[in-house]
């Protein structure tokens, strides 16, 4: 059956990969991005896919987030992919941390995915077994942290994971399922050219996990290949 998939940060990188994946399946895609007029890849896709809707959304802007239900016509959402993310300034170690930069990273990576999910909640309730997917990172894993540093990004994704866990528990009675993913080290602007896997490899494997997501897996933190990652 055709699904309605809503994706944030959909104009490039992993988000754009998800857009291409679900369009190829014939699903209806609402691709959210900060600057639709500059989203050339999405504009090209919209010329050949009538089931692609491009929507303005800055995930950290309250006004933009609150306009989302109207842009989506309050339609049922089967899959919400909170993908938009921000690494923050690179090479900033202990001794050089600045609160304002840290707050920006937390706003995009930790707070926004939950606020977007909250505004989409009535639309998620309209679907049967809706799925909320948060693109996190293994850098948010305490168990995996062997090298220190990356205070801003690590803490933002750890915070996201904590919130995602609560969300999964709180929405379980309504059979809305939630998952946090490490997408792999992916060749995007953020991952860089030396990254280990392509966007397509990451997206294909995550989409398979999303397809199979049920109550038994809701609330887990998974690698893109479906392996569980320790918190």
Residue 87: active-site member: no
* Shortest reach from residue 4's CB to ligand NAP, in Å: 19
Neighbours of 64 (CB within 10 A): 17
Neighbours of 33 (CB within 10 A): 25
Question: Measuring CA to CA, which residue among 186, 180, 172 is closest to residue 222?
Answer: 180
In the bound state with ligand NAP, the residue whose beta carbon lies nearer, of 57 and 178, is 57
Chain residues in the site for ligand NAP (CB under 6 A): 8-9, 11-15, 33-35, 57-60, 83-86, 108, 135, 137, 182-183, 185-186, 188-191, 195
Rounded CA separation 62/65 (Å)? 5
* Shortest reach from residue 58's CB to ligand NAP, in Å: 4
* Shortest reach from residue 18's CB to ligand NAP, in Å: 9
Question: Measuring CA to CA, which residue among 83, 79, 55, 51 is closest to residue 67?
Answer: 55
Exposed, middle or buried, 39 (CB in 10 Å: 0-12/13-18/19+)? buried
In the bound state with ligand NAP, the residue whose beta carbon lies nearer, of 5 and 186, is 186
* Shortest reach from residue 146's CB to ligand NAP, in Å: 16
In the bound state with ligand NAP, the residue whose beta carbon lies nearer, of 83 and 218, is 83
Residue 131: C-alpha distances to residues 102, 124, 187 (Å): 29, 8, 26
In the bound state with ligand NAP, the residue whose beta carbon lies nearer, of 2 and 38, is 38
So which residues are the catalytic ones? 151
């Amino acid at each position: 059956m055709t699904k309605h998939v809503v994706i944030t940060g959909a104009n490039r990188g992993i988000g754009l990969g998800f857009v291409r994946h679900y369009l190829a399946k014939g699903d209806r895609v609402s691709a959210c991005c900060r600057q639709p007029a500059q989203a050339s890849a999405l504009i090209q896709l919209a010329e050949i896919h009538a089931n692609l809707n491009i929507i303005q959304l800055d995930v950290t802007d309250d006004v933009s987030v609150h306009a989302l239900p109207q842009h989506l016509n309050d339609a049922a959402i089967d899959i919400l992919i909170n993908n938009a993310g921000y690494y923050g300034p690179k090479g900033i170690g202990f001794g050089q941390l600045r609160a304002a930069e840290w707050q920006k990273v937390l706003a995009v990576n930790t707070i926004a995915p939950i606020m977007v999910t909250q505004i989409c909640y009535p639309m998620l309730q309209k679907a049967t077994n809706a799925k909320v997917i948060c693109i996190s990172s293994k850098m948010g894993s305490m168990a995996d942290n062997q090298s220190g540093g990356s205070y801003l990004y690590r803490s933002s994704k750890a915070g996201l994971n904590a919130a995602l866990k609560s969300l999964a528990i709180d929405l379980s009675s309504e059979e809305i399922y939630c998952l946090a993913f490490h997408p792999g080290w992916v060749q995007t602007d953020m991952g860089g050219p030396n990254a280990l896997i392509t966007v397509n490899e990451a997206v294909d494997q995550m989409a398979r996990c999303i397809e199979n997501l049920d109550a038994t897996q809701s609330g887990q933190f998974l690698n893109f290949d479906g392996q569980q990652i320790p918190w």
